[in-house]
Amino acid sequence: MSVTKQSLLNETHNPQLSSWLDSANLPNTDFPIQNLPFAIFRVAGSEQAFRGGVAIGDQIIDLAALSKLKLFDGVIAEALVACSQSTLNDFMAMPASVWSALRAALSQALSAGAELEGELRRCLVAQDEAEYDLPCRIGDYTDFYTSIHHATSVGSLFRPDNPLLPNYKWVPIGYHGRSSSIGISGQAFPRPKGQTKAPDADSPSVGPCKRLDYEMEVGIYIGGGNELGETIALDDTDQHIFGMCLFNDWSARDIQAWEYQPLGPFLAKNFASTVSPWIVTNEALAPFRTSWQRNEADPQPLEYLSSERNSALGSYDVQLEVFLETPTLREAGEAAVKLTQSSFRHSYWTTAQMVAHHTVNGCNLVAGDFFGSGTQSGPDAQEAGSLLELSNGGKQQVELANGETRTFLEDGDAVVMRGYCEQAGAKRIGFGECYSLVLPAKS
């Protein structure tokens, strides 16, 4: 039976749907009623407990407050209790049908003319009055390497004689990252120190990283997992992918160049990573799924990584942007300048293939596990997802609109990532913002 996008859509995706909250109906809002992403929040500066919330316009629906009103019963009531906790893990561990049911109930209650408008207005908290925590307890974090454009570009810098290793087109490459250093948007961290070796030096030295870089990635949150020894089939992955966020996987390129062989990233990657607060659900992204295609000249995926469904709907057209805010721009009150823009649709491997491959050996995923997509560079030079690529390995200055230049990041620089989905016949939805600041290295 053929697979169509229409089969993934329901009344929550209706582009004509509007909310009784005016800010949710503005044309460029990230959070119209068609989105309804999840986060963990509290009122900024308060001693309140962190709890689950859903974004709508410029407000947050406090799910703990909504749960106490007891307006719903059955699985909706159970889901709201789970969302009242300080992490979303228990909610994410529920079946995908429960995620969908809560989203549908919220959509109905937030729709223009809804009978529950008065009750839900009592549960609103302004987003500009909130602070956020990680949306879930991230037990394990795997970083993939799914952009062939990034892999080829970086490979040509580190291995000019052999830029793309032969296994890349056969297997989704990944490594086990450090979940303890993942922080929420607003994260500020000191420049990392480590061991590097200059090309003309006889021995390595230890000191602050000189080639600090960002990586523009998509973060993928796992919901319900699988038992140890069991696999997740490619076409079943929608039951396990809870949603996505923006992800900045910071990288110390000089430390990376010295340490990465033979076992790959270590200290170059484990000092900090930053996620945006909101998880845009897999269901909300359904209108923006698109076909995934492999160049006919390339090896075609093995059977466990190939299906009609994955070919028809495996890619997501998520627009990704990176902006740089320098101390000079900040002091002048000027906006951050855009460095790059690309799309997640260029990914060589799909999210479904990441999940299927991760579990083909029986690895057990659990609710809250996190995948990084790898740097999402597009086919054109201006779509590069890192300064390493934009500066050609530090050989060329990247010129900013105010006359400043960069090859890599300097102390006081902040990187801002934004993402959104937009296409004809669907309501634009966004991911919010992922902001992080580089502090000087500690003495």
Enzyme catalytic residues: 150
10 Å CB burial of residue 311 (0-12, 13-18, 19+) is: middle
How far apart (Å, rounded) are the C-alpha atoms in residues 141 and 369?
Answer: 6
Q: Which two tokens stand for residue 217?
A: 């990635």
How far apart (Å, rounded) are the C-alpha atoms in residues 419 and 9?
Answer: 21
Helix, strand, or coil here: 78? helix
CA distances from 415 to 100, 374, 408, 418 (A): 33, 17, 12, 10
How far apart (Å, rounded) are the C-alpha atoms in residues 197 and 234?
Answer: 43
How far apart (Å, rounded) are the C-alpha atoms in residues 55 and 61?
Answer: 6
The values of phi and psi at residue 109, to 5°, are: -70, -25
Omega cis (within 30) before 262: yes
N-term to C-term CA, the chain: 63
CA 129 to chain CA mean position, Å: 23
Helix, strand, or coil here: 30? coil
Identity of the residue numbered 147: S
**E strand or H helix at 353, and its extent?**
helix 351-359
- Sequence-distant (6+) residues with CB within 8 A of 381 are 389, 390
Determine the Cα angle at 361 with ends 359 and 366, to 5°: 35
What is the DSSP pairing of strand 187-190 with strand 429-439?
Answer: parallel
Determine the Cα angle at 395 with ends 389 and 398, to 5°: 65
Q: Which two tokens stand for residue 414?
A: 């902040």
Residue 393 CB coordination number (10 Å) = 17
Q: Are 268 and 194 in contact (CB under 8 A)?
A: yes
How far apart (Å, rounded) are the C-alpha atoms in residues 418 and 427?
Answer: 17
